[in-house]
Structure 1
Amino acid sequence: MADQLTAASDQRLGQASWALFEWARNPYYILIMIYIFGPYFTNDVIGDPVLGQEIWGYITGFAGLITASLAPFLGAIADKVGRRKPWIAASVIMMIPAILLLWYAVPGQETRGVVTVSIALAIAGTGFAFTEVFHNAMLPSIVPYNRMGSLSGLALSLGNGGTLIILVAMLYAFALPAQPIINWGWLPDQVLFGLDVSSHEHDRISAPISAVWLFVFSIPLFLFTPDQAGTGVTARAAIRQGLADVWLTIRRLRDYRNVALYLIARMLFNDGKVAIMTFGIIYASGVFDWGLAERLILAVFLTVFAIIGGLVGGWLDDIVGSKRALLVTIGGNCVALLLAVSITPTTLLFIPIEGMDVPLWDFAFFRTLPEILYVLVSVLFALFITSAYANSRTMLARIAPEAEMTKFFGLYALSGQVTTFIAPLMVAFFTRFYGNQVGFGSVLILLIAGFLLMFRVRETRENL
């Protein structure tokens, strides 16, 4: 009896440690790629919001191309070898030095410095994508099938929770004290830890925080989460068998046309959603000259609505079905994106209007009507993007053959990786020739293509 209790306790500890890894890795994406370092790099390090958005597109596109080329095959090879934790450890070891190197990204760098930081970003982004592949692959081996959803949900909640804690802490310790116009009694008199605002150390500190957070909170996974036993397959045999398995799985899609059509549609609109998350704040920071404080306030605000979006997506899915729910959320993202690029400090709905720069209230941030409207549009992004993630998984569960559900979720993961480079490179291309407004707006091409293709997908289970 005591042995059984000990085994159950160890199992729960292993599962909790697996979920905690999401707490460890998620802040990198939110802090570095979305809210803090990305906008800082494009606006302050590069010094030109348009050129910065273009360069950021090439960086994320390059990292996406590496991920698309390697991740599916590495995942298949790992399945043959058996063990996943060594791959996760290698990815984390690859990420941490690259993230720490971002501390040295300062405005006014020579081209060599910018190239070094760009390479570091690409390495960290690739490592982050690899951790997702192998971390997800561990799930079926550590929890019963009927509890996979709840453990996965716990991990996502922990990831958002950890990020929210860091965002609030950085807002209190660095961003708000750095604002000379702020005189709130409960704030520190100056930026904590002696960070130099003039050299943007309060922006750059996001990199060491992300790296240390990743290192510390990755440890429980390696200590307490059980890994699958090694199969004894040699590396050369694993590569050969893994490549064959990927090719065989792709070929099998010919027998399931409806599922294949859905995965192609999902591939398009998912790439569009990721691009909105990656470039939405970068675009707004360049257009409205938002600093660290504005970005962090918006991040905290949108995190709340992202949580609500997951609940709304589930409710909508139950009421109207997965396909209609996806059409609503993808269509909502299309409308929100069109609204976003139609708003500038002097225009609404692409129409120039005088007096748009007049403050509407005494709050220190988001004082003009265009800024407030962009914040509201960002709320729509948070709601629709989170909802679409929830609906996407459910849609596949409704239409894939029950007997081969695991394999099709493997294809689902593959479809989320193979085109991750398209949207960033598209944004970079259109930004270069037409400016940041058209560059960000070009994401509509992917969203609309995925939206239209969804009309041809049937919400019926397919069996051979």
Structure 2
Amino acid sequence: MAQAGESEPVRVQVPGQASAQLVSATGGEAADGKGQLAWAGFEWARNPYVILITIYIFAPYFSGTVVGDPVRGQAIWGHINGVAGFIIACFGPLLGAIADRGGRRKPWIAAFVLTMAFATFLLWFALPMDAGIGILGAAAAVVIANVAFEFSAVFHNSMLPHVASQKGLARLSGLGLALGNLGSLLILVFMLIFLMLPGAVSWGFVPDTLPFGLDAAAHENSRIAGPIAAIWLLVFAVPLFLFTPDAKSSGLSSKGAVREGAQALVRTVKSLKGYRNVALYLVARMFYNDGKTAVLVFGGVYAAGVFGWGPLDLTLYGVVLSIFAVAGGLVGGWLDDALGSRNAILTSIGMTSLGVLLAVSITPQEIFFVIPYDPETATPLWSLPFFNTLPELIYISVVLLIAIFITAAYANSRTMLARIAPVSKMSEFFGLYALSGTATAFLGPLLVGIATSVFHSQRVGFASVLLLLGFGMALMFFVREERADEAVEERGA
């Protein structure tokens, strides 16, 4: 059987086929169908954290109820993400370099999964008005969980070119994000039916009371998002460890892997001047990823502030967007196959920017900047306790663009790196990939905060993310979609 790095095709048995040739993007033996599905399924386990904690449920609860002041809460939420981003920027590339030297990824992923689950569970104890673990305790737990989330992504992403074929990179990457959003959707539907709607509607399939003795008056239907995300992660991360093959250990001790990894990272950073195309891509991604991250971080807080939405509205809003985000992962794979990674990224950023522009053009009193709307005199569209005004429905309609194409952009971005990074330094470059996504993580929150303060407008502050998206998109026009060749790069070609 051919070893990793050899050019001879590797014959492996694939479920449902008599025989087939399946060679990974790195030249070794790719994972079988079950192993690839388990790799993608890790997104199903991990990504609900983003939806439940950082966007729709816990973030607005933290801002408006734990802090007690939405404006101050939004500022603190930005600082939390900035601190986590700084930590990730400092250590993410080093971890990727260590993975290359040590070989195995699963032990690291397991450690970060356990850390993330513990920190996320603690959010149950973040009580209203700075009680319980308080603002500081909740902030520390979110920082730890965010860091563990991103560090697990470094090792999980670096497995992609080892488990998938070159032609299958885009589809498997897109499938992972689609599964992640599908899992988030199922959790949000559960929370909507059993935790948010009881007492608000009299539908037959909705229980009369909250389960497990939860008390909505104590905001327990929002706080439970932490334990749900933690338990979901622990249960559904298991298949990755059972079915997806890991790289073989290099035989180095932990100390040796750290030492050689650090040395290799220094060399890699210095060599970026030789990998000009990859470096330009990472810089471009740094800016447009900051824009996407800011959209996600402030999306729930923005909607809650502008439209005065509560937990029920935000959960239903999350359900609707998650349905279309599931399609976004598949759209990303389709765009990548049809247009190539670079053009798919340009399309995804462009459509995300259009969605943001349309979103901020709508308020309870205004549609598309110029059409006035008077909520005081307008007749409600229906008697349901949510989304009963025309601006709200139009707003939801246009942000579907964001849900689809921001997910597609994530899928296209990591596929792009897997296509252009040098094979021998794949994990190091995925560490730099994490760095490019977090090195300026403070920039999005800072930009939104300054714009909001200067213009005294939440919509202007949110619209400022268009600057980051636009600059990143402009840089992408100069990126070439081709594998970095060390010999060519060193000659300065």
Q: How does the TM-score come out when normalised to structure 2? A: 0.82
Q: Which of 374, 387, 394 matches 2:395?
A: 374
- For 1:183 and 1:299, locate their aligned partners in 2 and report how far apart those are by CA, in whole Å: 22
Aligned partners of 1:258 and 1:13: how far apart in 2? Answer: 35
Q: How does 1:181-200 map to 2 (within 5 A)?
A: 182-200=201-219
Of 255, 275, 279, the match for 2:274: 255
Structure 1 position 154, deviation (Å): 3.9
The equivalent residue for 1:35 is: 56
Q: Choose which of 157, 160, 164 in structure 1 pairs with 2:181.
A: 160
One-letter amino acid of the structure 1 residue matched with residue 68 of structure 2: G
Q: 1:3: which partner in 2?
A: none
TM-score (norm 1): 0.87
Deviations 1:178-215 (A, max 9, x none): 42xx1212211222222101011111111111111112
Q: 1:152 to 1:329 in 2, by over 3 A?
A: closer
Q: C-alpha displacement at 1:124, in angstroms?
A: 0.8
The equivalences for 1:338-417 within 5 A come to: 338-350=357-369, 353=372, 355-357=374-376, 358-362=378-382, 363-393=384-414, 400=420, 406=426, 410=430, 411-417=432-438
Residue in structure 2 matching 1:445, options 460, 467, 471: 467
What is the count of residue pairs matched by the alignment? 456
The one-letter code matched in structure 2 to 1:445 is L
Please report the RMSD computed on the Cα atoms of aligned residues, expressed in angstroms. Answer: 3.2
**For the residues of structure 1 that align with 2:143 and 2:483, how far apart are their CA atoms?**
39
Instruction: Judge conservation of contact 1:68–1:421 (CA < 8 Å) in 2.
Output: no
Give the match's secondary structure for 2:388: coil
Q: Is the 8 A contact 2:177 2:411 kept in 1?
A: no
1:346-401 C-alpha deviation (Å, 9 max, x unpaired): 23445693513534411431111221222122112112213333443565577x37
Structure 2: how far apart are the matches of 1:354 and 1:140?
A: 52
Q: In proportion to residue count, which structure has more helix?
A: 1
1:47-446 paired onto structure 2 within 5 Å: 47-109=68-130, 113-142=134-163, 147-179=168-200, 182-314=201-333, 316=335, 322-350=341-369, 353=372, 355-357=374-376, 358-362=378-382, 363-393=384-414, 400=420, 406=426, 410=430, 411-431=432-452, 434-446=456-468
Structure 1: tracts of 5 or more residues without a match: 1-5
Could you tell me whether the CA contact under 8 Å between 2:105 and 2:246 is conserved in 1?
A: yes
Check the 8 A contact 1:430/1:442 in 2, yes or no: yes
In structure 2, C-alpha distance between the alignment counterparts of 1:461 and 1:17, rounded to whole Å: 27
The residue identity in structure 2 corresponding to 1:443 is: V
Measure, in 1, the Cα distance between the counterparts of 2:421 and 2:111: 35
CA distance in 2, matches of 1:92, 1:52: 27
CA distance in 1 between counterparts of 2:481 and 2:34 reads 38
1:143-168 CA deviation, whole Å, 9 max, x = no partner?
Answer: 55555555444433332222222111
Q: Which amino acid aligns with 1:89?
A: A
1:172 is aligned with what amino acid?
A: I
SS at match of 1:367: coil
| 8 A contact 1:46–1:107 mirrored in 2 | yes
Aligned partner of 1:444: which letter? L
Out of 354-363 and 313-322, give the one that drifted further: 313-322
Query: Structure 1's 178 and 75: CA in aligned 2 closer, same or farther, altered over 3 A?
Result: farther
User: Compared with structure 1, are the counterparts of its residues 349 and 49 closer, same or farther at alpha carbon in structure 2 (3 Å cutoff)?
Assistant: farther
Displacement of 1:114 after TM fit?
0.8
Q: What is the CA distance between 1:112 and its match in structure 2? A: 6.9
8 Å Cα contact 1:272-1:444 kept in structure 2: yes
Unmatched runs of 5 consecutive residues or more in structure 2: 1-11, 16-30, 489-493
- The whole-number CA distance in structure 1 between the counterparts of 2:241 and 2:482 is 41
- Mean alpha-carbon deviation: is it higher for 217-226 or for 93-102? 217-226
**Compared CA separation, residues 14 and 458, structure 1 to 2 (3 A):** closer
- The percent of aligned pairs where both chains have the same amino acid is 51
